[in-house]
Chains A and B, each alone.
Chain A
Amino acid sequence: MRVLFRKSYKQDIRLFRDRTQAFWYLLFLCIALAAPLFLDGYFLDELSFVYIYAIAGLGLMILTGFSGQVSFGQAAFVAIGAYAHTILLSRYGVPWILSLPLAALITGLVGLAIGRICGRMHGLYLAIATLSIAIVTERLIGGGGGFTGGHRGLPVPGIDIFGIAIDQSWKTYLLNLAFFVGAILMTRNLLRTRSGRALIAIRDSEVSARSLGTNVAFYKAYAFFLSAVFAGLAGGLLAHAFYYITPETFGMGESIRLLLMIVVGGIGTIHGAIFGAFFIVLLPTVLSWVKVILPSAIATSGGFDSLAFGLILLGFILFEPDGLYGRWVKIHHYFNVFPMYKRRSFQRQKTFLKTERLK
């Protein structure tokens, strides 16, 4: 078992705790960068989807995992980002490199407005409010007529950065990877500075966050803003991955999928959003492999994928509420302290009871 000796305050502030950790993360980054050399187009596209979903997931993690506001409306922000980007590109001829940040900003501002309104709500009421936002956004885009293309949808122009066309799988893959890494770094930076701590404070106790000087309404809206910016960015990238967008692409089901994604991944952690994205994007591929060995009566029945997804989700909620990342931490701990691992190490016990709360 390795013991971490802290010799400087900077060790708790830096991105990586120590050299070993830095080594592993940089190794992963190198493998990800080199992936086009040994993976074919299909898998590169799949990984692109993972990265894009992870960006949207990180946004939702900021909102739900860190600031504690449950949102069933993340896909609405993804849709706004995708449509803003596509419309800016095709209708106004805005250069790609400007259009994407603009789309993210527009989405962010919509998020800010919604955050301002929803910031007063908690729990169930917030869930219902955000759910209705998802439904309304889908309807609005569908009813947008010629401007949004209505239910017939919009074709998405190709990516063109300073005259360089990003038209092959490996090129879009690297582009998505760059945004993905950027999103992780930003989330990480948020968490190790003042605003990120304010969000966590609000999640755990609004009354004491306030007593320490946090403007709760402001930071809740800020969480909505950041979450929407990430979603808008993901939306812009996703539009290109789909080539053609319709309002149904970003329906209520997609919002729920995103929320389940961060729950399966492990709520309240950056890793959780990423693990969840891998899970949700690669599951259909894995299931298609499984189907080969199953009897055809089961494999070809319509609801098989949904059933498998539902069962896996149920399993997580029942047996591993900390999600994939929580499971990974346990496995890591198992080998770290081998052969002294005890299941009790991760059992949380309440040492006292909370009586009343000021809300």
Chain B
Amino acid sequence: MSWLEVENVSLAFGGLKAVDNLSFSVEPGKVFTIIGPNGAGKSTVFNLICRIYDPLEGDIRFGGESLLGAKPHEVINHGIARTFQNIELFEHASLLDNLLIGRFRHGRFSPLSELFFLPGQLRQELEHRRKAEEVIEFLDLEGYRHARVADLPYGVRKKTEMARALVASPEILLLDEPSSGLTTEETDDTAFVIEDIREDLGITVVMIEHDMKLVNKVSDKVLAINEGRFLATGSASEVQDDPDVQAAYLGGEVA
């Protein structure tokens, strides 16, 4: 099994320290949640793991192997898939096509075979389709299969993004605010989905989340950060009882 380790990572934008000497590690088969006030650097941590940003110092390892040598498009080959805070779907394609793009890493670039649609292509396409259908069933997206993504309601778009990441069959899934913008029912639904991802699919989940109800329900371990710095880690209730965390959210003297 793989481990995700972030070790003494720092990143600054000009004079602003976005991430400051942050370390944490995620155990396999667990749901790991990162919480923190707005601007705490949570999404930046995801972007660091996904190699969109280069850390100034420190190391990020997955399964004992450093990710720092990988280009952004190679991160998925390590088995790391992600969703985005502001939904980054392929708007003008159907939901099904979005999922099929999620299968990208399970194919090879073979221009002639593609342009002439040689027999091997059909077999591959069917295999991708079957995998996509598995995920469609897993997330109850059957009714939207052929709908254009731009026309879908927000909650479904959110699910579609999760589906697209799952179709890539990752080992670890990074969810950036899976419940933002969802209704109470949809958020409850998301909690069940995350549990199923961990239990049934055996995928480790790292998520950024603000909804404490959801955090309490699904997290095995919680990490609180503020201004890019480590605040506390532990179970959901331990972190919430931590005086530093309370100070970060509510203001006041830092103990």
* B117 x A216 contact (CB < 8 A): no
Chain B nearest CB from A355 CB (Å) reads 6
Contact mask for chain A residues 45-66; partner B; CB cutoff 8 A; 1 contact, 0 none: 0000000000000000000000
Stretch at the interface among B6-14, B21-29, B105-113, B243-251: B105-113
Residue pair A212, B164 in contact (C-beta under 8 Å): yes
Nearest to A348 among chain B residues (CB) is: B150
User: In the bound complex, do residue A201 and residue B81 qualify as a contact, i.e. CB atoms below 8 Å apart?
Assistant: no
Q: How far is the CB of B252 from chain A (nearest CB, A)?
A: 30
- A105, B150: Cα distance in complex, Å: 37
Cβ B82 vs Cβ A204 within 8 A: no
Kindly identify which residue among A193, A222, A355 contacts B121, using a CB–CB cutoff of 8 Å. Answer: A193
Report chain A residues within 8 Å CB of B73: 210-211, 213-216
Binds A, one of B93-101, B185-193, B221-229, B230-238: B93-101
The residues of A that contact B117 with a CB separation of less than 8 Å are 189, 192-193
B158 to chain A, nearest CB (A): 11
Bound together, the chains give a CA A334 to CA B126 distance in angstroms of 34
Chain A residues with CB under 8 Å of B103's CB are: 194
Q: What's the nearest-Cβ distance from chain B to residue A219, in Å?
A: 9
Decide if B178 is an interface residue (CB 8 Å cutoff).
no
With contacts A209-B101, A212-B105, A357-B86 taken as known, whether A200 is within 8 angstroms of B92 at the C-beta atoms is: yes
| B168 within 8 Å of A (CB atoms) | yes
Bound form: Cα–Cα A209–B153 in Å: 22
0 or 1 for each of B202-239: is its CB under 8 Å from A? (1 = yes): 00000000000000000000000000000000000000
Complex: chain A residue closest to B98, CB-CB: A201
Tell me if B114 counts as interface (CB < 8 A to partner A): yes
Which of A5-13, A78-86, A250-258 contacts its partner?
Answer: A5-13
Any B CB within 8 A of the CB of A207: yes
**Roughly how many angstroms separate A201 CA and B50 CA in the complex, as a whole number?**
18
- The smallest beta-carbon distance between B197 and chain A, in angstroms, is 18
| A211 with B116: CB separation less than 8 A | no
Contact with A along B21-55 (1 / 0, CB 8 A): 00000000000000000000000000100101000
Residue of B at shortest CB range from A13? B125
CA distance A9 to B131 in the complex (A): 12
Q: Which residues of A contact B133 (CB under 8 A)?
A: 9
| Contact for B129 among A9, A196, A216, A357, CB less than 8 A | A9
Chief secondary structure at chain B's binding surface: helix
**Residues on B with beta carbons closer than 8 Å to the beta carbon of A197:** 93, 97, 100-101, 104
Partner of B116, one of A189, A216, A222: A189
- Min CB distance A193 to B, Å, is 4
Residues of B within 8 A of A195 (CB): 109, 111, 114
Question: What chain A residues lie within 8 Å of B241 (beta carbons)?
Answer: none
Residues of chain A in range 1-22 having any CB-CB distance to chain B below 8 Å: 9-10, 12-13
> With A9-B126, A207-B84, A212-B164 given, is the CB distance from A198 to B104 under 8 Å?
yes
Check: A300 CB closer than 8 A to any chain B CB. Answer: no
CA separation between A342 and B70, bound complex, in Å? 51
Q: Shortest Cβ distance from A218 into chain B, in angstroms?
A: 8
**Residue pair A196, B114 in contact (C-beta under 8 Å):** yes
CB distance from A196 to the nearest CB of B (A): 7
Given contacts A193-B117, A351-B154, contact A213 B125 (CB under 8 A): no
Q: Assess whether B151 is interfacial by the CB under 8 Å rule.
A: yes
Which of A193, A204, A214, A348 gathers the greatest number of chain B CB atoms within 10 Å?
A193
- Partner among B72, B81, B115, B168 whose Cβ is within 8 Å of the Cβ of A210: B72
Does A354 reach chain B (CB closer than 8 Å)?
yes
CB pair A211 B72 closer than 8 Å: yes
Query: Would you call A268 an interface residue if the criterion is a C-beta within 8 Å of the partner chain's C-beta atoms?
Result: yes
Which listed residue, A193, A204, A212, A356, touches B114 by the CB 8 Å rule?
A193
Contacts of A10 in B (CB 8 A): 122, 126
Q: How far is the CA of A23 from the CA of B221 in the complex (A)?
A: 60
Q: Does A312 contact B (CB under 8 A)?
A: no
- Is B63's beta carbon under 8 Å from chain A? no
Q: A189-B114, A198-B104 are in contact. Are A205 and B89 (CB under 8 A)?
A: yes
B93, A200: Cβ atoms under 8 Å? yes
B115 nearest CB across to chain A (Å): 5
Interface string of A101-134 (1 = CB under 8 A from B): 0000000000000000000000000000000000
Chain B residue numbers with a CB within 8 Å of A348 are 150-151
* Complex: chain A residue closest to B97, CB-CB: A197
Chain A residues with CB under 8 Å of B93's CB are 197, 200-201, 204
CB-based nearest A residue for B174 = A211
A42 within 8 A of partner (CB)? no
A251 → chain B, closest Cβ, in Å?
30
Q: How far is the CB of B27 from chain A (nearest CB, A)?
A: 23
B contacts, CB < 8 Å to A: 47, 50, 52, 71-77, 81-82, 84, 86, 88-93, 96-97, 100-105, 107, 109, 111, 114-117, 121-122, 124-126, 129-130, 133, 150-154, 164, 168, 181
A interface vs B, CB < 8 Å? 9-10, 12-13, 186, 189-190, 192-198, 200-201, 203-205, 207-216, 222, 268, 348, 351-352, 354-358
Contacts A/B (CB < 8 Å), 24 sampled:
A9-B130, A186-B115, A189-B121, A190-B114, A193-B125, A195-B114, A196-B114, A198-B101, A200-B92, A200-B101, A201-B101, A201-B104, A203-B92, A208-B89, A208-B164, A211-B50, A211-B73, A211-B76, A211-B82, A212-B105, A214-B101, A268-B92, A348-B150, A351-B153
